[in-house]
Amino acid sequence: MLRYYDMNDYLRGFRLNPLSPETAPEIKIDVEDSDREYIVTAEIPGVQKNNIHVSIEGNRVSISAQGNQAMEGKDSRALLHGERYRGLRNRTFSLAADVDETRASARYEDGVLALTLPKRSGAQSKQLSIQ
């Protein structure tokens, strides 16, 4: 006899479970910090580079990616089971220092987005004294 969670897992693979809607997978990132810049590496597999958008506002970085659209049946074939995500994914994060967006660069290769985000000159942190 199948218990509820076993059936739930079974149905999720076929996108038939109305009780727990699928959410977009998170864009996974690594952020490295040096004296002059941040290096951000983001995993965004299955997306064409013209469908990736990066925006920078001060110290806030937003990445959005539009995955491949749903497959249409070819030659009268229907998709019976699909696990690959086809839709919009977003990730927004804040850095400790403002980014110089005029010198920032991005490269996308093999499903990995690499951002080089130079820190804005003059952006320094200030240590506050507690009173």
Tens digit of each residue's pLDDT (9 = 90 or more) over 16-56: 544 444 555 689 999 999 999 999 999 998 889 999 999 99
Q: DSSP characters for 66-98?
A: EPPPPPPPSTT-------S--SEEEEEEE-SS-
Write out the residue range of the structural domain in which residue 87 sits. Answer: 23-69+83-118
Number of domains in the chain: 1
Instruction: Tell me what pLDDT residue 93 has.
Output: 94
Does residue 27 form part of some domain?
yes
Token look-up 């990736």 returns: 52
pLDDT confidence tier of residue 4, bands split at 50, 70 and 90: very low
Does residue 60 form part of some domain?
yes
Does residue 11 form part of some domain?
no
Taking only the tens place, the pLDDT of each residue in 58-107 is 999 999 999 875 555 556 777 777 777 778 889 999 999 999 999 999 99
Q: Are 52 and 108 in contact (CB under 8 A)?
A: yes
Instruction: Tell me what pLDDT residue 6 has.
Output: 40
Phi, psi of 12 (to 5 degrees): -60, -40
Does residue 30 form part of some domain?
yes
Tokens read off for 99: 């980014």
SS3 call for 32: strand
SS3 call for 4: helix
The CATH number for 96's domain is 2.60.40.790
Does residue 28 form part of some domain?
yes
pLDDT surpasses 80 at 122: no
Does residue 17 form part of some domain?
no
Report how far apart, in Å, the C-alpha atoms of 107 and of each of 58, 71, 114 are: 21, 27, 5
Does residue 8 form part of some domain?
no
Locate all alpha helices (DSSP H) within the chain, ordered by sequence.
4-12
- How far apart are the C-alpha atoms of 16 and 27, rounded to whole Å? 24
Does residue 7 form part of some domain?
no
Share of the chain above pLDDT 90, in %: 50
